[in-house]
Amino acid sequence: MQIRRIGGPDDAPLIEAELQDGDVRLSLLNLGVVTRGWWVPCGGASVPVILGYASPRAYLTDDCYLGAIVGRVANRTSGGRLQIDDTSHQLSQNEGQTHVHGGLRGLSRRHWQVEGDSAANAIRFTYRSPDGEEGYPGLVDFAVTVTLRGTCVRYDMAATADRLTPVNLAQHNYYNLMGGGEVWSHHLTCIADRRTPVDGRGLPTGEILPVDGSRYDFRDTTALGAMDPTREGMDVNVIFPEARDPDAPVAQLGAPNGLRLKMWSDQPGAQLYTAKHLTARAGGWTDKSLWPFHGLCIEPQAPPDALNQPGFPSILIDPDRPYRQCLRVDLSLIHISEPTRLGMI
């Protein structure tokens, strides 16, 4: 374990923390609890399996939430509207009139406190969000613990509030198990059986529809390219079955190099995003790694715009009902037969 200060002023230092277990390495930043890099051995090389910047300072101006913890409320909130009992609150608007991923300076843009736990091979990040930050009511204490064990990374997220207020966090890694290039050759399995359709602004209509017959049905292992032959891109919130095995993964992702990812989550659903709006930029781990469609985000969370959709689960917490989320992601190397490439994963 290594924790080092990279730079910045005393009141907002940029700190990098590194965890290692064997040949697996994880780099984290205190800015937004960013997972900057995750390297695993494959084919005699160390493969970066998430998109990231080679320079930690590049995250100071990143606008794509690469690897960050986003919130207080992830995803989109229509008009930034929040009504609690008889009181209205106006959240900041950072996508036209929409509030996205916590606003202008959400949790992903804040400097968190860092504490290492060598015995657990973990880093604990904490941040106190004051009453009124980005328009949110209440003082909220956030804590995120990131643990590396073997090829498994675990994110334990928690929040306690001094009054009724919303919290819906999401971890925003862009996965590319090949280390770069477009992700169309990746195969995805996801247990989600429903989705929340959106309007032209990307906001939920309030409907909850089955995935059957849509290009968002990944209950059978399917290549991302086969589900999107016109390369339209995918940015959809899907909902997991209510009666599901908590010990079974909610999603699996496989790549032609034999790397396979399994993800476990206790959240009701996830956002699936193929990085259509990731504008081409330099500075990634590999040449042209930060381009549109070069990553897949699988972001467990509650449904978007839950604050304005009465048919969606509540995301309000209070002093007696703290927030908890556990996300676990494991990587392994599987044998690939040449004729079938990936087949079922």
Whole-number pLDDT of residue 335: 57
Tokens of 318: 């209070």
Catalytic residues: 172, 299
Mean pLDDT of 196-201: 93
Find the Cα–Cα–Cα–Cα dihedral 219, 221, 225, 229, rounded to 10°. -50
**Alpha-carbon gap, residue 24 to 41, rounded angstroms:** 7
82, 91 in Cβ contact below 8 A?
yes
Mean pLDDT of 8-27: 95
Closest CA to 69 of 21, 27, 28: 28
256, 185 in Cβ contact below 8 A?
yes
Read off the pTM.
0.95
Tokens of 228: 């999107």
Whole-number pLDDT of residue 146: 98
Q: Which phi and psi (to 5°) does residue 88 adopt?
A: -100, 140
List pLDDT tens digits, range 200-256: 899 999 999 999 999 999 999 999 999 999 999 999 999 999 999 999 999 999 999
List pLDDT tens digits, range 287-339: 768 999 999 999 999 999 999 999 999 999 999 999 999 999 999 988 544 33
Whole-number pLDDT of residue 100: 97
Ranges of beta strands (E only) in 1-151 are 2-7, 14-21, 24-29, 35-42, 45-48, 69-70, 76-77, 81-84, 87-90, 99-100, 113-117, 122-129, 140-149
Whole-number pLDDT of residue 336: 47
309, 302 in Cβ contact below 8 A?
no
Q: What is the mean pLDDT of the chain?
A: 94
